[in-house]
A and B are shown apart, each in its own frame.
Chain A
């Protein structure tokens, strides 16, 4: 029920504002609800970078080594081996399934915003999520 309310809250907001604003809101919630020590984000996806820049309190870093979180898309996967131990989020479900460092994803599926977080991977990185995101946890190894 609670999950439904959260989803409805997100859903109601999304149809009332431009899609980029919705993306900003959801990414903001997703990032801030992870128990990160610092919010230093690295991405090479220009579109994602434009969105993430608009989230207050987030520092965009130019080198993935300094990041506490990497956000990637299907077309811009960070291949740097030095950054293998940094948790990642993506905007693609298939990427989440195939890359073991992906701790979650936010993407649009059939006109609906979808958030999925991998419980085992979050544990592996020693991360916890806010209670409101608990319902989005999945057993994706």
Chain B
């Protein structure tokens, strides 16, 4: 039926829109995630670069104070060591876990020269062995350039930075620092919050889309129900004027029928039986129609069949068949067996009608013609044809 087709179409459009919007949301979310990831990486690099620059100036300061021979000078000057450790302490922030100076001795072992740690319990002693857990220290000696090492995630250390202290083009010592893993977790925490917010927004939008879809579905389901006559299951006047009136009704032949002496049925058997008769009648008529035809309850016991054909002959044949079927098949309601007949009027020239009311009016006139001719008749163009 047309209304069903309309409903299906809207539903399909709704599903397509919903799918497109959902895919768009996922795509957007992934894009944002990508941007956030690269921004996070850039932010981390910026932090590392910032500290690198700061530590670079610390190495210059150490060189200025120690002169050419860093190790020898520090070995012989305890107060200078203390001063430099104090100065290095100024470079230490909560983000800098460790800041120290080490050198590689003649046996290839690394030893502390300075340590910015203020807690004596944690402070490395002068010439105490330093355990390199990465090879950046050797690489710094080899390349004479600063090196960075990213620790595995589980530890308290995040990034180690090694900056060489050069003397005549040779590395004499290395300023080492460990940035705290708290920087990484802080950055990740901030970004994960943004991501969570994004995810939340995406979920809300998807939920809203789903609700929108449900609303459309409910609206159309309710709308299609509002077109149905609750007693007979045929379409009602609302359908006639909201759907059929907007369709090209000229494509239909209009057959109007009315139950003969229906008042007698109600009076003799009661209104419940009358209702049952209407229900059964409608059911029988519908069985004789095609999907593309429409059956409308126009009022009381008056019905209109919109037969989708341009053939007047076909309309007459269908009307005759309807009349005969109803006439020859008694209605059994409870213990009551009733013979029911219908009078039928056909508008055989629907295209000539100016509007649907006019077309129905002509069919109604033909129906009166059939009634006046003695009922249980089919009338077309003022002539009884059956």
Contacts and interface: CB of A to CB of B under 8 A. Distances in A.
Given A4-B138, A93-B125, A109-B124, A114 B131 contact: yes
Given A110-B178, A111-B156, A111-B157, A7 B132 contact: yes
Interface in A1-33: 3-4, 7-8, 10-12, 14-17
Interface in A112-129: 112-116
A114 B100 contact: no
A138 B129 contact: yes
A7 B132 CA distance: 7
B152 A16 contact: yes
Among A12, A17, A110, which residue has the most Cβ atoms of chain B within 10 A? A110
A109 B132 CA distance: 11
Contacts of B53: none
B329 interface: no
B376 interface: no
B132 A15 contact: no
B155 A110 contact: no
Interface in A21-76: none
Contacts of B178: 110-111
Contacts of B108: 3
B151 interface: yes
B352 interface: no
Mostly helix, strand, loop or mixed at chain B's interface? loop
B72 to A, nearest CB: 20
Contacts of A109: 124, 128, 130-131
Interface residues of B, number: 23
A97 B130 CA distance: 16
Contacts of A10: 133
Interface in A84-111: 93-94, 97, 109-111
B131 A113 contact: yes
A116 B129 contact: yes
A7 B152 contact: no
Contacts of B100: 110
A8 B124 contact: no
Nearest to B152: A15
Chain A's interface size range is: 20 to 34
B328 interface: no
A93 B130 CA distance: 12
B66 to A, nearest CB: 22
B154 interface: yes
B77 interface: no
Contacts of A3: 108
Contacts of A15: 151-155
B97 A110 contact: yes
A16 B154 contact: yes
Contacts of B97: 110-111
Contacts of A94: 125
Contacts of B152: 12, 15-16
B133 A11 contact: yes
B154 A112 contact: no
Contacts of A116: 129
A97 B178 CA distance: 26
Nearest to A97: B125
Contact of B155 (A4, A111, A115): A111
A7 B131 contact: yes
B98 interface: yes
B124 A110 contact: yes
Given A4-B135, A15-B152, A110-B124, 16 more contacts: A3-B108, A4-B132, A7-B131, A7-B132, A10-B133, A11-B133, A12-B152, A15-B154, A16-B152, A16-B154, A93-B125, A109-B124, A111-B97, A111-B155, A112-B131, A115-B131
Among all A-B residue pairs, the 6 with the closest Cβ atoms = A11-B133, A15-B152, A110-B98, A15-B154, A111-B157, A112-B131
